[in-house]
């Protein structure tokens, strides 16, 4: 599991979906200050033609809802606090599958 790797481990995605993924994450945790700063940074890099990767395990644990299924706010955004982490993951995946918000860069 990625979350168990050292926090300074670099994460490289295969496609440049960072801004879209962060905008989805904002729909789950709209008040996450680290996420909001990450969106600004990623959008600026994208506008400047710069890559938004790599990330680190530490960063992903701060803003990636798929790595935050144990966090109350994430659970509540897609279900209820008593949902298991596995239920939250499934609900997050379904929410992402149905999410349609083209980022404005």
Look at residue 102 in the predicted model and tell me its pLDDT.
58
Would you give the distance in Å from CA 45 to the centre of its chain? 17
Look at residue 25 in the predicted model and tell me its pLDDT.
97
Look at residue 103 in the predicted model and tell me its pLDDT.
52
Verify cis geometry, omega within 30 degrees of 0, for the bond prior to 76.
Answer: no
Q: Give Cα separations from 37 to 22, 53, 63 (angstroms).
A: 10, 15, 10
pTM: 0.88
Domain boundaries, the chain: 11-98
Task: Dig out the tokens for 14 from the structure.
Answer: 């295969």
1-60: per-residue pLDDT in tens? 799 999 999 999 878 889 999 999 999 999 999 999 999 999 999 999 999 999 999 999
């Amino acid at each position: 599991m990625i979350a168990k790797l050292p926090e300074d481990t670099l994460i490289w995605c295969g496609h440049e979906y960072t801004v879209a993924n962060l905008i989805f994450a904002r729909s789950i945790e709209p008040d996450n200050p680290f996420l909001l700063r990450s969106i600004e940074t990623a959008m600026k890099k994208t506008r400047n033609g710069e890559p938004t990767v790599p990330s680190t395990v530490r960063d992903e644990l701060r803003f990636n809802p798929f790595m935050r299924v144990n966090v109350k706010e994430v659970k509540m955004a897609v279900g209820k606090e008593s949902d298991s982490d596995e239920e939250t993951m499934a609900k997050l995946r379904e929410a992402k599958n149905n999410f349609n918000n083209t980022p404005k860069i």
